[in-house]
Amino acid sequence: MNAPAETVRGGVAGWFEERLRISGLLAALLHVRIPVSAQTYYLGGISLFLFGVQLISGTLLALYYKPTADAAYESVKYITSVVDFGWLIRSVHHWGATLMIASVGLHMGRIFVQAAYKYPRELTWMFGVLLFAVTILFGFTGYLLPWDQKAYWATTVGTEIAGGVPLIGDALLNLLRGGADVSDATLNRFFGMHVLVLPLLLAGLVVVHLTIVHQLGLASPRHPEPRPVRRGGPAQPVDEPLKPFFPHYILDELIAWFVVLAALVVLASVLPAGLEDEADPLITPQHVKPEWYFLSVYQLLKIVPRTIGIVAPMIAVAILLLLPFLDRNPAVAKRRRPLALSAAVLAVIGLVALTVWGAQS
């Protein structure tokens, strides 16, 4: 009996190739324009890797977690003390959130310093800012889930800050809490946002962000992207030697992932995620502080009027989002961008100072 034609032309791989044209898709995916002068420090890939770690570890935790005020705390204790390697998975998830926020922030800093947000990558930057905002929301919604004293009262403080937003503060507070106070309804809403809404939103933004990066390639930190000579014409890429994306850059990226994974396991083992007493709305701890990425806003609210302390971060986010359109300087070289870099240095100093001040106060 003769073999099927598909088998003769290349077996199973040939059968799928005829129907899906996989080789063309893989060739396109494995071709990204990377100038040899581009120094990414692999921060974008590390952020993506940590998102994957959070998805896997979060899914494992969700198998045992019970999102109700009566059972949440005990389920976390059960995960930590009874489930095999539960303490490690929870600690990896805890430190993964911290490292992910830090890596996304550093990635944005690298993009800013190298002026990679300028033409034609304005949308890449804007989607990156949205990704950073969603990552912060991940940390905020996940912080309440252990339902201990620290989580409960830090969330109380955080939602009160959200409730101070002009015009929509009361509606926003009620939306987050599901009522006047942090309660079982709040826990259910935060859990739903943390495990369903935000992962889907972040995944969608990541797909769009990576698609744009793939189409445009990485920016050269030495030369601005030339604009088209005529309206509607294609912009020609900078004539600069390129680094092969596959396998060279991919292998370097994998090495960076393994290094981050090793650091994550060490942190989780040496400094495991803690758990305080169960949340009690009737007992207010003496020193209630949010997580480190909210300390600057927390401290700002203590030294300026409430409205200013809430509106100022919103203005800062709006400036970040619109930065490619506000910065009209076409230059990318650092020496030709003294104003932008000086403003960024002052902003970082202020942010670090407020964070340290908030941690010590």
Whether pLDDT at 235 is above 60: no
Contact 240, 37 (CB under 8 A): yes
Within a domain: 178: yes
Say how many domains are in the chain: 1
Six token digits for residue 232:
């509607």
| pLDDT tens digit sequence for 162-198 | 998 998 999 999 999 999 899 999 999 999 999 999 9
> Residue 217 belongs to a domain with what CATH number?
1.20.810.10
Range from 32-36, 208-212, 229-233 carrying the lowest mean pLDDT? 229-233
Within a domain: 28: no
β-bridge partners, 35:
242
Whether pLDDT at 30 is above 90: no
Average pLDDT over residues 254-275: 96
Range of the domain at 160: 40-222+240-285
Within a domain: 31: no
Within a domain: 277: yes
| pLDDT tens digit sequence for 66-93 | 999 999 999 999 999 999 999 999 999 9
